[in-house]
Amino acid sequence: MKKTGAQILCESLIREGVEVIFGILGGAVLPIYDTFPQYPQLRHILVRHEQGAAHAADGYARAVHKAGVCIATSGPGATNLVTGIANAYMDSSPMVAITGQVARPFIGKDAFQEADITGITLPITKHNYLVAGAAELAKTIKEAFHIAQTGRPGPVLIDIPRDVQEEKAEFVYPDKVDLPGYKFVSKGHSVQIKRAVKLLKEAARPVIIAGRGIIISQAYDELKELAEKAQIPVINTLLGIGAFPGDHVLNFGMLGMHGLAYANLAVQNADVVIAIGMRFDDRATANTKDFAPQASIIHIDIDPAEIGKNVPIDIPIVGDVKSVLKAMNKEIESRNHLDWLSQLEQWRSEHPSLEIRQNDGLLPQYVIRQISEATRGDAIIVTGVGQNQMWAAQHYIYTKPNSLISSGGLGTMGFELPAAIGAKVGRPEETVWCVAGDGGFQMTIQELATIAQENIAIKIAIINNGYLGMVRQWQELFYQHRYVDTKLWNPDFVQIAEAYDIPGVRVKHREEVIPAIQKAMDYPGPFLIDFIVEPEENVYPMVQPGESLSQILELPKPEVPSKY
């Protein structure tokens, strides 16, 4: 039987297992929305801005390990998705973005709300399509989901002209894809695996750097087996948080610019680094010239283009992390590295990066720690970007796999609120905390309406220091305290929440923190806490830009009076 393009789209989405779509409508997607009532199994969540739809789909995808779907109209609707698509691309998050396009006869005529979205998203999608006719639609959707969800995941955009949505075609959903140019290696090369095992056998000071690839591949057990069997300490990247239990004796925390001192020292003094599903981002490596200077590096990644991109690699293993680790674990021998581990423990006690100092004002680190305690490290934390993100990465103890959702590569402020919506929709049984800064929160604040309309029970913690905090920290340290345009006038966030029918409280003192968090957790729906924290608190440790991971700034510099 013939179906319209819009019906073919819905039928295909259902066959791909899609349950939720985040979007907002407009002229060029009206035929699709008009078809939704025929498919009640597709839940549509109406957002207030297309960027919110993309981040929500991204948050959903990360939480449930399958492609998140977002939809927007042509022109400005499509261009508003761009930040969210770029964000998903940088963090290898599977997403299928559907955009309406002006009808085929109008393409290239600068028609109303026309934008060349396939051209615009070319460098930020794994692949994209402009659908030429309804007969192509099913095949295109099949390919899009396959590409988005396999190999190194990423966003795929499908641009569907309005008249294609109305055009009728025979609907047959293909069960295979035919993509001669799309290939990825799952199984690691056995010779390379043998070399890696041999190197690890000879290692005296090995470390694992665990990246997001472990989470994507869901190789938690395999990583744990490797670490425990060979007694290798585990360091993680920002997005590798949740790859290995935060309370495990072999966990030594995050490396990088705001990594823990002992994590950075471990990497800098290691003789073998085994980097798993990570891409040597500059925030993780600091100056690459002096990164892990004593180490031979084994790099396991599914993307061959990541091998040797930023750091020279001694033993590359291209393949799916889970499959490679399984193969390695078969050959790895039990080891102990007592001297090395006690050295790390010594660094941990000499450099207590997670110690929270006594302070009269409310410290953001303390707030995060209390959320960690109250949720027993068991919640999903979705962060913004900047200081709030770093404190959430450092001071929350993530005990569960895949429990941090954060914008790592693109560093998108405003990601937190819509991504938290996506995470909660994907895993409604989990407690989801959105840790926001007062700056980033206002970049996607309109999604409070989505939360209210859909009653999405997320808990929002605004770490409110009245500044674009991380930028202010850089101005303090590198621009001689000249706080140019980082001080924020803020609205009353509790009243704002109230206006959206979301209850909230303001917390200014230490003793109010625990009761407020409890109140938020006890409330059955969404809840907001505005934590008024120490305004000029900095994130430490810090490796200054251009320096190596060994040059760790730990203690706040003595106060210099501001001349500005």
Q: Which residues bind other proteins (CB under 8 A)?
A: 118-119, 122-123, 126-127, 130, 147, 179-182, 303-305, 308-309
Cα Rg of the chain, angstroms: 24
Task: List, in sequence order, the alpha helices (H) in 210-337.
Answer: 212-217, 220-230, 261-269, 282-285, 321-331
CB of 394 to other proteins, least distance (A): 33
Per DSSP, the residues of 117-152 read HHHHTGGGSSEEEE---HHHHHHHHHHHHHHHHSSS
Nearer to other proteins, 90 or 272 (CB): 90
Nearer to other proteins, 122 or 484 (CB): 122
CB of 83 to other proteins, least distance (A): 18
Nearer to other proteins, 309 or 376 (CB): 309
CB of 118 to other proteins, least distance (A): 7
Nearer to other proteins, 126 or 472 (CB): 126
Q: Point out which residues pair with 273 in neighbouring strands.
A: 207, 297
Amino acid at 59: G
CB of 134 to other proteins, least distance (A): 18
Nearer to other proteins, 179 or 204 (CB): 179
CB of 87 to other proteins, least distance (A): 17
Nearer to other proteins, 132 or 484 (CB): 132
CB of 143 to other proteins, least distance (A): 8
CB of 314 to other proteins, least distance (A): 15
Nearer to other proteins, 309 or 508 (CB): 309
CA distance 307 to 174: 34
Nearer to other proteins, 127 or 459 (CB): 127
Task: List, in sequence order, the alpha helices (H) in 172-306.
Answer: 190-202, 212-217, 220-230, 261-269, 282-285
- CA dihedral (326, 331, 337, 343) in degrees, to 10, reads -40
Contact indicator for 118, 159 with CB cutoff of 8 Å: yes
CB of 556 to other proteins, least distance (A): 39
CB of 305 to other proteins, least distance (A): 4
Give me 120's structure tokens. Answer: 């615009």
State the number of CA atoms in the 13 A half-sphere of 89 facing the CB. 17
Nearer to other proteins, 181 or 546 (CB): 181
Amino acid at 326: K
Listed residue (71, 43, 48, 50) closest to 165, CA to CA: 71
Residue with tokens 């009728």: 168
Nearer to other proteins, 128 or 403 (CB): 128
Distances (CA, A) of 54 to 79, 164, 332, 417: 11, 23, 42, 12
Which residues lie closer than 8 Å to 273 by C-beta, 6 or more apart? Answer: 206, 207, 209, 267, 292, 295, 296, 297, 298
Which residues lie closer than 8 Å to 41 by C-beta, 6 or more apart? Answer: 14, 19
Nearer to other proteins, 317 or 520 (CB): 317
CB of 321 to other proteins, least distance (A): 18
Contact indicator for 69, 38 with CB cutoff of 8 Å: no
CB of 123 to other proteins, least distance (A): 5
CA distance 307 to 275: 11
Phi, psi values for residue 235, rounded to 5°: -105, 150
